[in-house]
Chain A
Amino acid sequence: MKRLGLQTVALLSAPHIIETASIVGKKEGEGPLASYFDFILEDEYWGEKSFEKTESKIAKENMAKVLQKAKKAPGDMNYVLAGDLLNQCISSCYAIRDSEIPFIGLYGACSTMVESMAVGSMLVDGGFADNVLALTSSHFCSAERQFRFPLELGNQRPPTAQWTVTGSGAAIISNEQKGPKITNVTIGKIVDMGIKDANNMGAAMAPAAADTIYAHLNETGREPNYYDLIVTGDLGYIGGDILKDLLYKQNINIKNRYNDCGILIFDKQKQDTHAGGSGCGCCGSVFAGYLYSKLKSGEYNRILLVATGALMSPTAIQQGESIAGIAHAISIEN
């Protein structure tokens, strides 16, 4: 039986993540995870004329990097699954347009890295693909323009604001037998608690993460201590605390094995990133860089990667809509 419950499936063939690659911006490269990334940009433009073009270049170059590291040609990929934060997912579309790989565009806001790996691993497990490439990107400057205010305005950031990570994560999921395996996929439901503050995404997404983790543990029959690490995409400090409390109230204690990519990527004291990192590239680069290397070294053998996304647009927020949260989870095991 592949289907374990409403949200969770077991991947019986357990597709492998055979290679990952990550590219990050300058600020992320000054953070505590610097040594785990494949490439660090020197400035926010990387020789391009606009932030949007830079973001697309980051995704494109990262795709080339992961193929090169895995010694694969673009033609070996049956699908590329990608998404980002910009309107119509332009970073991904333009990054992929010359690749000639069949493209499935995804929008899951900051949950896109796990969404793409979840769908990709199901494609491989279902026998529809031998190799798929999962890819996401985000850029601080383009995200500020997309979701808040253009940087030209010189706006002040409120203390609850998270810092959109400049970076990209890429992973190749394959039926080849090497590297960590994706064993379970839990697709999230939309959870909307009525939060309308676009500067407090962590709080808006935490209930979705709690819902998905609860469903995952319930449907797989696992306890939190099955995992060495339960890591969320980008709840940051505020959202992370809310998540731990929400689960604690349901008698699930993840406090001693919990971390968050948005907390891991920056040094809060030195880098003044307020509530932590966010963006597709946050979970993407932290997984592809740091977590994947810890899985390969055996420091972690079982992790539950839960990427969270805030499904909203500035127009919807201006019209008084609340932020719909989502979280997708995959379990990755050696």
Chain B
Amino acid sequence: MSYLTAFITGGIICAIGQILIDKTKLTSARILVAFIVAGVILTGLGIYEPIVKWGGAGATVPLTGFGYSLVKGVIKDVNSYGFLGIFTGGLKATAGGIAAAVFFSLLAGLIFRPKIKT
């Protein structure tokens, strides 16, 4: 059952991205940023948490999930350290993802060469 809900949730989020690419003039970079900001706002408003509960990885793996993690980290650190937590929490919670992205990008950059799209 959780496979199905994750599939539906992730599918819907990605479909929104595809519609934005096809129907608007937004560049992919702007869509990516918009997804993160949307995740932050929806989590802040308490809307994204229920989506994560229902959709699991389908909601946390897409970029909106990154926004969700940022907010969760900030809330956690604000509860522990107060005001400073606004600045420390987000990056702490997402450090794994960011470091992995940098590391694996570098690795891929060392091993592979870009190729033409076919």
A residues touching B (Cβ–Cβ < 8 Å)? 25-27, 44-45, 140-141, 149-153, 155-159, 166, 196-197, 199
Chain B residues near A140 (CB-CB < 8 A): 116
Considering only residues 65-118 of chain B, those with a C-beta below 8 Å from chain A are: 109, 113-118
For the residues of A in contact with B, the DSSP-based class is loop
Q: Complex formed: what's the CA distance from A157 to B109 in Å? A: 22
> If the complex has contacts A152-B109, A158-B22, are A141 and B29 also in contact, measured as CB distance less than 8 A?
no
**Are the CB atoms of B29 and A149 closer together than 8 Å?**
yes
Q: Complex formed: what's the CA distance from A141 to B116 in Å? A: 6
**Are the CB atoms of A44 and B115 closer together than 8 Å?**
yes
Q: Complex formed: what's the CA distance from A157 to B113 in Å? A: 20
For the residues of B in contact with A, the DSSP-based class is loop
**Are the CB atoms of A199 and B25 closer together than 8 Å?**
yes
B residues touching A (Cβ–Cβ < 8 Å)? 21-22, 25, 27-29, 109, 113-118
- 19 A–B contacts from the bound complex (CB under 8 Å): A25-B116, A26-B116, A27-B116, A27-B118, A44-B116, A141-B114, A149-B27, A149-B29, A151-B114, A151-B115, A151-B117, A152-B114, A156-B28, A158-B21, A159-B22, A166-B116, A196-B25, A197-B25, A199-B25
* Smallest Cβ-Cβ distance to B112: which chain A residue: A152
Q: Complex formed: what's the CA distance from A302 to B29 in Å? A: 46
Q: Complex formed: what's the CA distance from A158 to B21 in Å? A: 6
Q: Complex formed: what's the CA distance from A152 to B115 in Å? A: 8
Q: Complex formed: what's the CA distance from A329 to B4 in Å? A: 59
Chain A residues near B113 (CB-CB < 8 A): 45
Contact of A155 among B25, B28, B116, B118 (CB under 8 A): B28
Interface pairs A-B: 9 shortest CB-CB: A151-B114, A44-B116, A152-B114, A197-B25, A155-B28, A156-B21, A141-B116, A140-B116, A158-B21
Chain B residues near A25 (CB-CB < 8 A): 116
- Chain A proximity of B35: nearest CB distance (Å): 14
* Smallest Cβ-Cβ distance to B28: which chain A residue: A155
- Chain B proximity of A14: nearest CB distance (Å): 40
Q: Complex formed: what's the CA distance from A27 to B116 in Å? A: 9
* Smallest Cβ-Cβ distance to B23: which chain A residue: A158
Q: Complex formed: what's the CA distance from A27 to B118 in Å? A: 8
Q: Complex formed: what's the CA distance from A278 to B115 in Å? A: 19
Query: Which of A140, A149, A156, A199 has the largest number of chain B CB atoms within 10 A?
Result: A156
* Smallest Cβ-Cβ distance to B108: which chain A residue: A152
Chain B residues near A159 (CB-CB < 8 A): 22
